[in-house]
Structure 1
């Protein structure tokens, strides 16, 4: 039976707009994420996708409404243990090598004995072995994003939230990258939510969430996911 990992009820988020007013980014959003979910979060730039991901992952709090993580435990345990993030902008630690960036969540969680072995395995999985000792400044944008995905997977979280993970990859490389991610997640029960403008990526997910003007609509797809 699927486990409910995250539940959002009536959440809204607004921010100061610099003129003593406020800009509303999310409006009355209701959604839930179950274990094993494959969700594409689509919509135009500025529609609220990134803000929603940050709230679902506990990086931001809603202005109103309620967000809970019934399948993930207390808030303080969400990261790095149970939620892995892949951000839209570069997020690797510049002083750490690619391998060290991947192993960092495991070290923070106290799993030192298997950190190096897991990093090496994920570098091999993503075909990035030759980058193990490279610093982020020596990586292309696409390579950095693949390292960031490997880092998100390293500790075996229950949920991966990825913001445009293929945005810096060409279409062929993006599909090969996504092949690897989906294969790695198969039969694990790990849920995956991907904010994307890439229709080829979105079409492979079982559920589509569409953001428009801060509002969310949900659609389960019967075909197209693989």
Structure 2
């Protein structure tokens, strides 16, 4: 059980709109284990973001159960155990890129193992951005800084929502090279929601969501 990070059993999520309760996820069964490389594919509005939020403890299911067997209770998940990369802009505007990378360690408390944020950014080819504020960054640069921030505390699980959506294909592949190498080094699992088939092809397992229903694909050869 030590390698079982997250398990969902018959998880559903409904959102209220007036007197109606619109279902977004139906009876999702899935598991994430140490070292997994999982892509979540599906059309826009299919439930990918909602699933990631539930997996990361940012949202709670309205039916079914979710547990984090080797990560702890929901209050212990972020930022130590799970690193989350949001699809929308998430850098704090008053902090430089380096200060944003420092933030998880500050939030985690004095006993957290922090990194040299400037050197850490440099290891991902982003050292020149360390002293820049988010308003000085392009959308793609901000996305990469947000991903680096999610890795700063060596989490056991990284959940990333369209992390390369604003990058050209070459930059996306080079950046993912560095991310996957880092994750391999710390033994962390990665679940990424993306429309980028080149990124999807690098994941070992494919999940597909369509109209809130999850289909889990088998293992495949990584490109």
Question: Which deviates the most, 61-70 or 104-113?
Answer: 104-113
SS at match of 2:60: coil
Residue number in structure 2 paired with 1:38:
37
Alpha-carbon spacing, 1:6–1:148, altered in 2? closer, same or farther (3 Å):
same
TM-score normalised according to structure 2 size = 0.96
Find the aligned partners of 2:53 and 2:112 in 1 and give their Cα distance: 30
Residue number in structure 1 paired with 2:64:
65
Q: Which digits, 9 at most, give the CA deviation of each residue in 1:129-174, with x for residues without a partner? A: 1111111111000000100001000001100000000000011111
- Greater than 3 Å deviation, 4+ residue runs: 111-116
Residue number in structure 2 paired with 1:77:
76
Verify the 8 A CA contact 1:42 1:196 in the aligned structure 2. yes
RMSD: 1.5
Find the aligned partners of 1:148 and 1:92 in 2 and give their Cα distance: 7
Find the aligned partners of 2:2 and 2:125 in 1 and give their Cα distance: 32
Find the aligned partners of 2:175 and 2:186 in 1 and give their Cα distance: 18
1:1-226 paired onto structure 2 within 5 Å: 3-18=3-18, 20-111=19-110, 115=114, 117=116, 119-225=117-223
How far did 1:75 drift? 1.5
Verify the 8 A CA contact 1:2 1:36 in the aligned structure 2. no
Question: Which deviates the most, 33-42 or 70-79?
Answer: 70-79
Q: Which digits, 9 at most, give the CA deviation of each residue in 1:184-222, with x for residues without a partner? A: 111422000000000000011000000000000111233
Find the aligned partners of 2:217 and 2:88 in 1 and give their Cα distance: 28
How far did 1:74 drift? 1.7
Q: Which digits, 9 at most, give the CA deviation of each residue in 1:12-62, with x for residues without a partner? A: 0010124x1111100000001000000000000000000000000000000
Find the aligned partners of 1:101 and 1:81 in 2 and give their Cα distance: 15
Structure 2: gaps (5+ residues): none
Find the aligned partners of 1:114 and 1:69 in 2 and give their Cα distance: 22
Find the aligned partners of 1:23 and 1:75 in 2 and give their Cα distance: 25
Question: Which deviates the most, 148-157 or 187-196?
Answer: 187-196
